[in-house]
Amino acid sequence: MADPKAVEYHLSQGHIASWLSYIGRGDLASLVDSMTDLQAVIGLLRDSLAGFSDELTCPHCGFKGRVGDFRLARAPWRFGNYVGRLLVCPRCGGRFRFFYPLRAGLRPFTVPRRAAQGNP
Q: Give me the pLDDT at residue 77, please.
A: 80
Check whether 112 has a pLDDT greater than 90.
no
Do 70 and 37 share a structural domain? no
3-state helix, strand, coil in the chain (%, to 5): 35, 25, 40
Q: Which of 17, 34, 49 is the last residue of a domain?
A: 49
Do 68 and 24 share a structural domain? no
Q: Which of 49, 70, 87 is the last residue of a domain?
A: 49
Q: Give me the pLDDT at residue 1, please.
A: 52
Overall number of domains in the chain: 2
Q: Which domain holds residue 101?
A: 53-120
Confidence of residue 94 (pLDDT cuts 50, 70, 90): very high
| Strand 71-72 relative to strand 64-66, pairing | unpaired
Q: How far apart are CA 101 and CA 91, in angstroms?
A: 25
Confidence of residue 59 (pLDDT cuts 50, 70, 90): very high
Q: How far apart are CA 55 and CA 69, in angstroms?
A: 10
Do 69 and 36 share a structural domain? no
Do 120 and 78 share a structural domain? yes
Q: What is the pTM of this model?
A: 0.61
Do 32 and 3 share a structural domain? yes
